[in-house]
Amino acid sequence: MDIVFLSHRVPFPPNKGEKIRTFHQIKFLAQRGHCIQVLAPVAGEEDIRHMASLKQDYCQQTFHAPQPGPLSYLRGLLKWQALSVSHFYTPALQRQLDQLLAAQKVDAIVCTSSSMAEYVFRSEALRRAGAARPALVMDFMDLDSDKWRQYQKLKSFPMNLVYGREAKLIARYEQKIHQAFDACLFISQNEVDLFMQSNPELGRVHVVANGMDTETFRPAAGPKPQQGPNFLFTGVMDYLPNEDAVVWFVEGAWEQVRAKYPDAQFFIAGMNPSPKVKALSRFPGIVVTGFVDDIREYFDKAHIFIAPFRLARGVQNKVLQAFGCALPTITTAMGCEGINCKRGEHVLVADTLEETLAQIDWVMTHPEEAARIGRNAHDLMQREYSWNGKLAALESILSTRKAAG
C-alpha cells in the first residue's frame, strides 16, 4: 500500500509520546513492505535533519514546511478556530500534499492527531478525487477535548477561559472528523468509551494500543546503587501533565520522604524543564537533568519509578518503559489507565500524597515483594506489549479500508 502520514510533529527521533507512537507505526509498516511518505511542519533546522534521517531509513519521500509562528494563534482567535488546529496548519504544506495527491495514487492517509485533519478538509485534490479518494484514518491517540477540559479545571483566569474555549472547539472538530473519516483510532478502550459518550450514533472507532520497545527498555544488567532510594520520573518537562505531577509530589511529599530516607534522590529526567520544574532543584535530593542522551542510564540506577499524575489522557509510555525495566512503579489510577495491569501484581496505585508515601514505605520495607511486582510488570510487557503485536491491528484496518474503497 502507498500510505501518507500527516504528522503534527516530526516523528523522529522517537523521544516523546506521540512521536514514539507515530515512529513505530511508520517503522512497522515500512518493514512490512508498504510505501510510506511523511508530511510534517518543522520548527527549525534540527527538525529538517530529523526528517532526512527518517527518509533515509523508513520512507520513500518526506515533505516539510515551516511551522507557523505565534501569529497562528491570533488567526485562530479571529476565525473562531481551535488554536491547536491553527498552530499546525501552513498553506505551504497544504500545497505539497495536494501536489503529491495529484501526481500519484495514494491508498490511505493517516493523520496523527486531530490538528492534521485540517489538511484533509482543505484539500482540493481530495475534493476532485471524490469517491476514488484514499482511505482516511485519524489517529486521535488521546481524546484531546477531554485533556483541555482537565487543563481548564486546573487553571485560573484567564487561562481557564482559553482552555475552555479549546475544549469546546476541539470537541466539535472531533465530531466532524468522526463523520468524515473512514476510521478513527484511540490508544485505549477507555478513550473510545469516553469519546462515544458524545458521539454514540456512529461507528468506525478502533483501539490501536501503544507498544513498548522491549529491546531498549529491559532490566538493568548490573546491580543497583547501594545508596538511595533513587526515584525516577521521565518525560518532556514543559508538558503540563508532567510538570503538574512532579511539582505536586515534590512540594507536597518530598520533605517527608527525605526525613525518613535521608539519602533519597528524585531524578526528573527529560527535555525542556519548565521554570516550575527547574525550581524544584531547591529541594535537597532533587535532580532536574534536562535533556539526556541515554534515558536508559537513569532507569538502570533507579530503584522506584514514580508517576503521580493528576492530569493524563491515554496510555503513558513512561509507565510502559518502567514496567519493561522491571522497576517497582507507583502511579495514580490515571497513570495506569489503558494498561492491562493489576494493582498489587504489576503496579502500586496511589491517588493521594498520603497513599503515595505509604506505598513508598511498603516498597522500602518489602524489597522482595516489590521486586516481584517489577518482574511481573516486565513479563507483562514481554508477553503483551511488543510494537509488532499492537500494530498488526493498524495494518488490518488500513487493508480493510483499502479493500472497501
pLDDT at residue 312 above 90? no
Mean pLDDT value across residues 260-269: 98
Mean pLDDT value across residues 170-192: 95
Burial class (CB in 10 A: 0-12, 13-18, 19+), 367: exposed
Angle, CA of 264, 269 and 272, to the nearest 5°:
135
Fold agreement (2-211+387-404, 230-384): yes
The pLDDT score that the predictor gives to residue 402 is 61
Confidence of residue 85 (pLDDT cuts 50, 70, 90): very high
Strand, helix or coil at 59?
Answer: coil
Mean pLDDT value across residues 239-244: 95
Confidence of residue 127 (pLDDT cuts 50, 70, 90): very high
Burial class (CB in 10 A: 0-12, 13-18, 19+), 195: buried
The pLDDT score that the predictor gives to residue 401 is 67
The pLDDT score that the predictor gives to residue 405 is 57
pLDDT at residue 41 above 60? yes
CA distance 149 to 265: 33
Mean pLDDT value across residues 61-88: 94
The pLDDT score that the predictor gives to residue 403 is 54
pLDDT at residue 366 above 70? yes
Higher pLDDT among residues 69 and 250, named by residue: 250
Mean pLDDT value across residues 358-363: 98
Domain positions in the chain: 2-211+387-404, 230-384
Phi and psi at 152, nearest 5°, equal: -60, -40
In this structure, of 12-26, 263-277, 342-356, the range with the lowest mean pLDDT score is: 12-26
Confidence of residue 200 (pLDDT cuts 50, 70, 90): confident
Strand, helix or coil at 288?
Answer: strand
Residue 375 CB partners (closer than 8 Å, separation 6+):
326
The predicted-structure confidence for 128-150, as pLDDT tens digits, reads as follows: 998 899 999 999 999 999 999 99
Superfamily of domain 230-384: Glycogen Phosphorylase B; (3.40.50.2000)
Phi and psi at 240, nearest 5°, equal: -55, -45
CA distance 333 to 403: 40
Mean pLDDT value across residues 164-186: 96
pTM: 0.87
Mean predicted lDDT score pLDDT of the chain = 94
How far, in Å, are 191, 239, 319 from residue 234 at the CA level? 23, 11, 9
CATH of domain 2-211+387-404: 3.40.50.2000
Paired residues of 108 in beta bridges:
3, 135
